[in-house]
Structure 1
Amino acid sequence: MSDEHGSGDHGAPRALKVKVKTAKRRTASSNRWLQRQLNDPYVVRSKKEGWRSRAAYKLIEIDDKYHLLKPGNRVVDLGCAPGGWCQVAAQRVKSTDESPRVVGIDYLEMGGGPGAIFLQKNFLDDDAPDALVAALGGEKADVVLSDMAAPATGHKKTDHLKIMHLCEVAIDFARSVLRPGGHFLAKVLRGGTENELLTNLKRDFAQVMHIKPPASRADSSELYVIAKGFRGAVEDLGLAEDGDPRDTHAWMPPLKDA
């Protein structure tokens, strides 16, 4: 089991902390960010193990516990740059260049990876959903992932509302492309409306929960929402006599911080 730094090498000597010298053109906040990056064990591991970003470990930890990705699945990755989640998804669903089963989209440029199709496009563009469906070959997706985040403003409430909007758009897309039984995973930020999102998702998914994987920094307001077991189209939900969905939702507790 991993230790608090995410390393499985128990008993190994602790890495020396790297100190960053102040440069004339760097701000104090830039120096703090750089020092944190240089001393982040997940950053060190990602470079050593060939992942494009430390975010890969968030998906690895989540999938190890909740089993979202299975061989043969079709996966859509929203906001995929720099590509760590595409890498993990392609590996776990056994996607290949000859038969790609992972499609990623981002407005940022990103080199393609093995087993993944990359669309350089803003997901909020009107034609983005159709482009993703075309890249899937017209097939339904088994999993929709979203690690999308708007550029930070430094104002917590604004940043929270912006990322919640992105998540809501991702949910609408997931409802249109997921096969029955499919799964949804997305990043959110704490800020007051995240529980409303769970209520929204519970209408269409069998299990809904917030989690914070160990690779998510403890001082971050970042959370992930998982929705498992998509019920399918609205007409297939099964309504009670009063028109409300039957209460067949299974609440699962959040993952405790490591």
Structure 2
Amino acid sequence: MKKVRDHYFNKAKQEGFPARSVYKLKEAQRRFKLLSSGMKVLDLGASPGSWTKFAASVVGRNGKVIAIDLHPLKVDLPNVTRLTADCREISPNEILEKYGYFDCVLSDMAPKTTGRKDVDHYRSVELATTALEIAKVVLKENGRLFLKIFQGADFAAFRKECMAAFKKVRVFKPKSSRPESVEIFIYMEGLKHE
């Protein structure tokens, strides 16, 4: 298990990414083609910036990534706008007014873990719900959302909420995710506008 972690950690360093989490997004990109050239992307919980850097490389010069996190990003690119804020406290309508509609919302947000699986799970659901609520406001009609959540008692109920909001919902466990990890990802496509 440690070998797996070291492999992805070392690979990230060699490829110039701040964290190994980039490989989870790369796997999702291969599977779902969630990002493409010219897209406008909102990256929630973006620090240290691996997802931001990868998304920026895919969307290219004609694309734009708005990256938000409590902590400053280690990535500085011409097509990236960095905002330091708590995603739970930002107004989706203000984001919409300032930047317009987005093609894709990414969320790798995770709570600071306490070691208590139930507490960590509920906090993770809160963050995933935040991402879902923001996405419902800022996404274009056929927009996509890709988010992280911890498995647990409320997972099924949260997945139902996702299915009510999007036409297509897929649960995804990347190979680069540690085998013992409770994290799982949900890919959603085709926001249903009420």
TM norm structure 1: 0.70
**One-letter amino acid of the structure 2 residue matched with residue 122 of structure 1:** D
CA drift of 1:130 comes to: 4.7
**Aligned match of 1:122:** 86
Query: Is 1:83 equivalent to 2:49 in the alignment?
Result: yes
After TM superposition, the structure 1 = structure 2 runs for residues 195-206 of structure 1, keeping only pairs within 5 Å, are 195-206=156-167
After superposition, what is the alpha-carbon deviation per residue over 1:87-117, rounded to whole angstroms, capped at 9, x for unaligned?
Answer: 11111111x3xx6610010011223421211
**Aligned match of 2:136:** 175
**Aligned match of 2:17:** 51
Bigger radius of gyration: 1
After superposition, what is the alpha-carbon deviation per residue over 1:188-211, rounded to whole angstroms, capped at 9, x for unaligned?
Answer: 111121111111111221111211
1:46–1:54 CA contact under 8 A, matched in 2? yes
CA drift of 1:156 comes to: 0.2
TM norm structure 2: 0.93
After TM superposition, the structure 1 = structure 2 runs for residues 162-241 of structure 1, keeping only pairs within 5 Å, are 162-232=123-193, 234=194
* RCO comparison, higher one (Cα < 8 Å, 6+): 2
Percent of aligned positions that are identical: 30
**Aligned match of 2:70:** 107
2:70–2:85 CA contact under 8 A, matched in 1? yes
**Cα distance in 2, alignment partners of residues 80 and 39 from structure 1:** 20
**Cα distance in 2, alignment partners of residues 201 and 38 from structure 1:** 31
1:206–1:229 CA contact under 8 A, matched in 2? yes
CA drift of 1:129 comes to: 3.0
* Helix, strand or coil at the partner of 1:203: helix
Q: Residues 172 and 149 of structure 1: is their aligned pair in 2 closer, same or farther, counting only changes over 3 Å?
A: same
CA drift of 1:39 comes to: 5.8
2:145–2:188 CA contact under 8 A, matched in 1? yes
Moved more, 109-118 or 62-71: 109-118
**One-letter amino acid of the structure 1 residue matched with residue 23 of structure 2:** Y
Aligned residues: 193
Q: Which has the higher helix share?
A: 2
2:92–2:137 CA contact under 8 A, matched in 1? no
**Cα distance in 2, alignment partners of residues 37 and 121 from structure 1:** 35
**Cα distance in 1, alignment partners of residues 155 and 108 from structure 2:** 15
**Aligned match of 1:62:** 28
Q: Which runs of no fewer than 5 residues in structure 1 stay unpaired?
A: 6-35, 235-258
Q: Which has the higher strand share?
A: 2
**Aligned match of 1:146:** 107
* Helix, strand or coil at the partner of 1:181: strand
Q: Which runs of no fewer than 5 residues in structure 2 stay unpaired?
A: none
1:121–1:128 CA contact under 8 A, matched in 2? no
**Aligned match of 1:242:** none
Alignment root-mean-square deviation, CA: 1.9
